[in-house]
């Protein structure tokens, strides 16, 4: 009500512009995600990364949407996740629920990166999605599970490198994941230079969270800065939210 002054209408115009800009950004992000979800084979540009051979372990990798995945691979991925994670979920406030995990794993937005041995033995998999997270286009790694017999041979690290290649090739802003604090895997992801994401919840007197959110940023999409600017940025530290 009442008359708008020149200053207040300028302000509301600015707000409208900001809203419009934000909407444009989100629809751009959604278009990038939709494009990635149309891929037939995300590994196609990286033939070298279809094979792993290290520490006496040989593997072949492929990537598929959950809707195209064989039933027995789906069943195996559920059983492996349950074997690796059930106790850890039960030891914190999350709890374990078969049907919820199945729903998440077999959602039609789910993508799989699967590693199998040369004789066809299934070794490990990642469930990932191209998605919008906190308004940004990201590759969200929901799961990385290796059969215990094939852990600590470098395959997990290799699979994360493949996910990063796929994410950044398809213009995702970052690779994001949630890890339980009671799980050794935090050490694994930190060894791979994953950092606490700005969306990771911070414990206070009222609530402590059993998980943290880690991420790796796509450096190619960070605006280019001159050396002078990089220095000054470093001095005022853009990383305060990490502490």
- The residues of the shown chain that bind ligand COA, judged by CB under 6 A, are 84, 143-146, 151-157, 179, 183-185, 187-188, 191
CA–CA separation, 230 and 233 (whole Å): 5
Could you tell me if 162 and 127 are in contact, meaning their C-beta atoms sit under 8 angstroms apart?
Answer: no
Nearer to ligand COA, 86 or 151 (CB): 151
**Min separation Cβ 156 and ligand COA, Å:** 2
**Min separation Cβ 3 and ligand COA, Å:** 58
Nearer to ligand COA, 32 or 59 (CB): 59
**Min separation Cβ 187 and ligand COA, Å:** 4
Number of residues in the chain: 243
**Min separation Cβ 49 and ligand COA, Å:** 14
Nearer to ligand COA, 26 or 73 (CB): 73
Q: What order of strands is seen across the sheet that includes strand 136-146?
A: 51-54, 57-65, 111-116, 122-133, 136-146, 174-180, 211-217, 195-196
Nearer to ligand COA, 26 or 196 (CB): 196
**Min separation Cβ 17 and ligand COA, Å:** 41
Nearer to ligand COA, 29 or 112 (CB): 112
């Amino acid at each position: 009500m009442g008359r708008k002054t020149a200053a207040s209408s300028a302000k509301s115009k600015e707000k409208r512009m900001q809203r419009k800009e934000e909407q444009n950004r989100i629809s751009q992000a959604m278009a990038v995600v939709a494009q990635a979800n149309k891929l037939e084979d995300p590994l196609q540009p990286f033939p070298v990364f279809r094979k792993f051979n290290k520490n006496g372990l040989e593997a072949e990798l492929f990537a598929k949407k959950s809707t195209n995945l064989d039933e027995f691979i789906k069943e195996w991925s559920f059983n492996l996740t349950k074997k690796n994670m059930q106790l850890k979920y039960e030891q914190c406030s999350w709890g374990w629920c078969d049907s919820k995990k199945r729903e998440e794993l077999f959602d039609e937005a789910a993508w799989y990166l699967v590693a199998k041995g040369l004789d066809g033995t299934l070794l490990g998999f990642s469930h990932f999605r191209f998605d919008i997270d906190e308004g940004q286009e990201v590759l969200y790694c929901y799961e990385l599970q290796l059969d215990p017999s094939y852990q600590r041979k470098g395959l997990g690290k290799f699979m994360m490198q493949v996910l990063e290649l796929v994410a950044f090739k398809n213009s995702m802003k970052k690779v994001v994941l949630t890890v339980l604090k009671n799980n050794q895997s935090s050490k694994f992801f930190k060894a791979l230079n994953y950092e606490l994401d700005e969306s990771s919840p911070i414990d206070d007197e009222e609530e402590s969270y059993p998980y943290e959110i880690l991420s790796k940023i796509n450096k190619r999409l960070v605006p280019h800065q001159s050396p002078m600017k990089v220095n000054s940025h470093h001095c005022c530290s853009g990383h305060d939210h990490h502490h």
